[in-house]
Amino acid sequence: MVQHAGPYVSFRIDWSGTSSTTYNVFRRIGLDGDILQVGTNERILGTTPDGRAVWFDTTAPIGTGVYYRFVGSSGAATGWGGPHVLPAEGRTWLTDPMRPWADLSMDTCPAGSGNHRPGCPDPAPAFIWGGFTDTLDLEADAGLFDVLNAEHPADVYARRKYASGSLRFFTTTLDAIDRVYDLFTAGGALLLRTPDTYGWHDQFVQPGTVQMGHASRDQRRPERVWDVPFTVVDQPFGPIQGTDCNNWCDVKAAFPTFADLTNYPATWMDMADGSVLCPDAPPETDGFGMGGFGDGPFGDGG
């Protein structure tokens, strides 16, 4: 297992000696937690029986012990490996699991607060978490219909919606404004993970209209305040688009033509695990690999 700079982990799985061509991935919190399938029919690279695989989990919970099991199409399987723990560090993460290179890490303390109290590791953070700015609304899914010659209406109802609200964060640099654009521009659902003290379970949220305001009356200053209404949604699905170190934009920059890529003295496995484009960045080497949102390396990534 490799822990990366962002809130995700990757695994290299050796399938040599098996006839498996694909595999499924299962995750559980603790050894007694519910089992969740987080990868389905992921492809094994290479030829049987010498296959290898690299798999990314960009939705792993933070600050708790997580276990993984990999089961091949031939029935070959690993045991439950773990616990793997992504450090919480008192930060809030707003991430796009399909575009992990665009993830935002937000400090919980304003600039200048320094290291004098827990949760303030950065003396000059570019992103500052402001919390939830409105009530969390659980909207009714019901209709009341008048009934002729009856005192009470007919009540037609279904499961209550969960949930909608609004969040706020701050940026302190001009570069940070561009980073916010990169995260929200794809338009899809984002995964919001906050410190446990907020009482918020990791949830996918669909942002509404993103509002940017100036934090100072002097609009030449770079500080901005951002308000984002959201609705909690189910986990989305789609093709993963590389990582912050290894994405399709980087591949195109390094290899202008497909011939340049195939003539390079490396394998597709080396490309998947980050060895080609990120050889000098352990333990934060980032690759395409496979993940719960499909497989790379052909997302846009940039």
Task: Give residue limits of the domains in the chain.
Answer: 2-87+241-295, 92-136+161-233
Q: How far apart are CA 23 and CA 74, in angstroms?
A: 9
Q: What is the pLDDT of residue 269?
A: 64
CA atoms within 13 A on the CB side of 224: 19
Local confidence pLDDT in tens for the 302 residues of the chain: 566 667 888 888 888 888 888 899 999 998 888 998 888 888 887 666 678 888 888 888 888 889 999 999 988 899 999 998 888 777 899 998 888 888 999 987 765 555 445 556 666 789 999 999 989 999 999 999 999 999 999 999 999 999 999 999 999 999 999 999 999 998 999 999 998 888 888 999 999 999 999 999 999 999 999 999 999 998 876 555 555 566 667 777 888 888 888 788 777 667 766 677 776 654 434 454 445 443 333 333 33
For CA atoms 42, 62, 132, 99, give the dihedral sign. Answer: negative
Q: How far apart are CA 46 and CA 56, in angstroms?
A: 18
- Structure tokens given for 43: 């492809």
Q: What is the pLDDT of residue 19?
A: 85
Fold classified for 2-87+241-295: Immunoglobulin-like (2.60.40)
Contact present, 266 and 275 (Cβ < 8 Å) = yes
CA atoms within 13 A on the CB side of 280: 0
